[in-house]
């Protein structure tokens, strides 16, 4: 199915463990984004990639790294997970500034 | 940086009542987008407003962009239970800055 696909959908980590959240899109999006969503906080931008080969920090980048592997894929890595990183993570993409974002279905991450 | 504030945070209405959520920015926006997120789901794009004073309608939903391009509103006429969810506005810079959303609960 066309769209933005995130894996995994659910994950439980122990403090200090590392993991990579995967995001792939087949909608020819130039720009891709990672947001986290916490109760009462709305959606906060972690990192984004305006185009293939570029990445930039968002509002809350600490503790995360990203890789824009190619135009289709944009991964988010937690090197040493902390309980404060318990959240729902959304990947999104868009074709250009005149278009809306298409979001993936999210990854629900719990760090214990 | 750009701040996008949304009010109210929560709204509980009876089915058939109208609902409005407001979005205000600390800076002039190039455009504003609105999204809906159902409980347990992901945000879904509704609409984008670009022009000063623009008004767009989607069935029972009316979206407005202020003359100064610093505020926007979403009005739902005669709410239905299918309208339940959180409505987000987002201002556009290099990436969208989302408001914290208005959660709408509709009871039959």
pLDDT at B15 over 80: yes
**Which pLDDT band, with edges at 50, 70 and 90, does B96 fall under?**
confident
Residue B93 has pLDDT above 90, yes or no: no
**Structure confidence at residue A1 (pLDDT):** 59
Burial string for A68-94 (b: 16+ CB within 10 Å, else e) reads beebbbbbbebeebeeebbbbbbbbbb
**DSSP secondary-structure letter at A73?**
B
Residues of A in contact with B88 (CB under 8 A): 42-43
- Residue A21 forms beta bridges with which residues? A76
Phi, psi of B27 (to 5 degrees): -135, 165
> Which pLDDT band, with edges at 50, 70 and 90, does B97 fall under?
confident
Distance to chain A for B95, nearest Cα, Å: 7
| Residue B101 C-alpha, separation from nearest chain A C-alpha, in angstroms | 6
Q: Which residues of A touch B63 (CB under 8 A)?
A: none
Q: Measured between CB atoms, which of B1, B31, B88 is closest to A43?
A: B88
Does residue B4 or residue B93 have the better pLDDT?
B4
Per-residue pLDDT of chain A (112 residues; tens, 9 = 90+): 579 999 999 999 999 999 999 999 999 999 999 999 998 888 999 999 999 999 999 999 999 999 998 999 999 999 999 999 999 999 999 987 778 999 999 999 999 9
Interchain contact, A48 vs B94, CB within 8 Å: yes
Record: contact B94-A56, CB cut-off 8 A: yes
Residue B71 contacts by C-beta under 8 Å, 6 or more apart in sequence?
Answer: B22, B23, B24, B25, B65
* Average pLDDT, integer, range B50-66: 97
pLDDT at residue B6, rounded to an integer:
95
Q: What is the pLDDT of residue A74?
A: 98
Residue A99: list chain B partners with CB under 8 A.
48
Range of lowest pLDDT (A28-32, A64-68, B38-42, B90-94):
B90-94
Which of B95, B96, B101 best tests the A interface by mutation, with the highest count of A CBs <10 A? B95
Query: What's phi and psi for B82, nearest 5 deg?
Result: -70, -10
pLDDT (0 to 100) of residue A69: 86
Are A42 and B101 inside 8 Å of each other by CB? Answer: yes
Averaged pLDDT score across all residues of chain B: 94
Contact A99 B31 (CB under 8 A): no
- pLDDT over 90, % of chain B: 85
pLDDT average, residue stretch B88-106? 88
């Amino acid at each position: 199915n066309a769209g933005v696909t995130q894996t995994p959908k659910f994950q439980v980590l122990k403090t200090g463990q590392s993991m990579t959240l995967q995001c792939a899109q087949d909608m020819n999006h130039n720009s891709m984004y990672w947001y986290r969503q916490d109760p009462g906080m709305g959606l906060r931008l972690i990192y984004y990639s305006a185009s293939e080969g570029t990445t930039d920090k968002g509002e809350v980048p600490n503790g995360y790294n990203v890789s824009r592997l190619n135009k289709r894929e944009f991964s988010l890595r937690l090197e040493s997970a902390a309980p404060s990183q318990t959240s729902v993570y959304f990947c999104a993409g868009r074709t250009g500034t005149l278009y809306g974002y298409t979001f993936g279905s999210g990854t629900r991450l719990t760090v214990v | 940086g750009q701040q996008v504030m949304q009010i109210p945070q929560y709204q509980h209405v009876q089915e058939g009542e109208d609902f409005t959520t407001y979005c205000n920015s600390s800076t002039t926006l190039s455009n504003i987008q609105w999204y809906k997120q159902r409980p347990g789901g992901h945000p879904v794009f509704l609409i984008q407003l670009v022009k000063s004073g623009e008004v767009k309608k989607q069935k029972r939903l009316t979206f407005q962009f202020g003359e100064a391009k610093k505020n926007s509103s979403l009005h739902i006429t005669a709410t239905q239970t299918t309208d339940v969810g959180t409505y987000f506005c987002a201002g556009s810079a290099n990436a969208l800055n989302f408001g914290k959303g208005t959660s709408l609960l509709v009871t039959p």
